[in-house]
């Protein structure tokens, strides 16, 4: 199985100047060895992030704290569940997000979420991916974070509109089972998100 490392210049594109998520908050939810674990994207990272911003601007639904639409930014293979390897996924917010205890509404690419792959369904059509971290920046340039404690999770990834299954649709890319890059998925939190912890001003 060949999972290619991405160049540092692409790594930097995750934090390019036009996006809303902070370097501070973004790096805080990224494993150090992420660059060597993700599958190379078919869509450039800046283009995928820009798409999240544009699509987010078209959402007219009320913001929620429990179920969000997000875009796949980077992905890993889910075939290594038994090896103990990290299987990180990164998602960019698309639909409006409002924690219940905050007055702030985060919109397209205003938040990034870290997912951790758990494995593949028996029929190999579905994947299990938990959400374990979040990093957001509001319109004032204040960063906020939320992290799952220990081995716990904040929620999980599902197909958009699927409120019954605990898996998300997979594709095969160069022999690896993973998510389609730049595709929208649904993030379902186990409990409505009440508060994010303030992490400081980033701009």
Residue 84's pLDDT is what? Answer: 72
Quick check: 117 and 171 in contact, CB under 8 A? no
Q: Is 3 contained in some domain?
A: no
Distance CA(115)–CA(97), nearest Å, equals 17
Q: Which of 11-20, 39-48, 59-68, 129-138 has the lowest mean pLDDT?
A: 11-20
Number of domains in the chain: 1
Q: Give me the pLDDT at residue 176, please.
A: 92
Residue 16 counted as domain residue: yes
- Segment 175-197 mean pLDDT: 96
- In a domain, residue 115? The reply is yes
* Residue whose token pair is 């290619």: 4
Q: What average pLDDT does the chain have?
A: 83
Q: Report pLDDT digits (tens) over 11-38.
A: 333 333 334 344 344 444 444 444 444 4
DSSP code at position 106? B
Instruction: Confirm whether 2 is domain-assigned.
Output: no
User: What is the reported pLDDT for 85?
Assistant: 79
Residue-range definition of the domain harbouring residue 103: 8-201
Place of tokens 């990224």: 30
Residue 13 in 3-state DSSP?
helix
Classified as helix, coil or strand, 11 is helix
pTM tops 0.85, yes or no = no
For 135, the 3-state DSSP assignment is: strand
How far from chain centre, in Å, is Cα 47?
16
Q: Is residue 180 part of a domain?
A: yes
* Residue 4 CA neighbour count, 13 Å, CB half: 10
| Domain-located, residue 71 | yes
Rounded CA-CA distance 8/19 in Å is: 18
Instruction: State pLDDT tens for residues 50-61.
Output: 999 999 999 999
- pLDDT tens figures, 72-106: 999 999 997 777 778 999 999 999 999 999 999 99
92 within a domain of the structure (yes/no): yes
3-state secondary structure of 90: strand
Q: Taking the CB of residue 66, how many other CB atoms lie within 10 A of it?
A: 14
pLDDT for residue 108 is more than 70: yes
Identify the pLDDT of residue 95. Answer: 98
3-state SS, residue 87: coil
Question: What's the CATH number where 62 sits?
Answer: 2.40.128
The two structure tokens encoding residue 93: 């917010």
Q: Does residue 1 fall inside a structural domain?
A: no
pLDDT over threshold 90, residue 10: no
Using pLDDT thresholds of 50, 70 and 90, give the confidence band for residue 41: low
The count of other CB atoms within 10 Å of the CB of residue 38 is 24
């Amino acid at each position: 199985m060949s999972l290619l490392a991405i160049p540092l210049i692409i790594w930097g594109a995750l934090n390019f100047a036009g996006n809303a998520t902070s370097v501070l908050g973004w790096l805080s939810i990224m494993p150090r060895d992420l660059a060597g674990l993700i599958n190379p994207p078919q869509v450039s990272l800046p283009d995928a992030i820009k798409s999240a911003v544009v699509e987010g601007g078209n959402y007219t639904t009320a913001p929620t704290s429990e179920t969000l639409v997000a875009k796949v930014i980077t992905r890993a293979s889910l075939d290594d569940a038994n090896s103990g390897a990290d299987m990180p996924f990164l998602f960019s917010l698309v639909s409006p997000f409002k924690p219940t205890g905050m007055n702030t509404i985060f919109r397209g690419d205003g938040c990034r979420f870290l997912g951790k792959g758990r494995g593949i369904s028996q029929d190999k059509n579905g994947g299990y991916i938990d959400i374990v971290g979040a990093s957001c920046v509001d319109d004032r340039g204040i960063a906020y974070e939320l992290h799952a404690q220990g081995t716990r999770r904040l929620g999980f990834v599902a197909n958009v509109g699927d409120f019954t299954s605990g898996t998300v649709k997979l594709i095969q890319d160069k022999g690896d089972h993973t998510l389609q890059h730049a595709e929208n998925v649904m993030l379902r939190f186990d409990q409505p998100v009440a508060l994010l912890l303030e992490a400081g001003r980033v701009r």
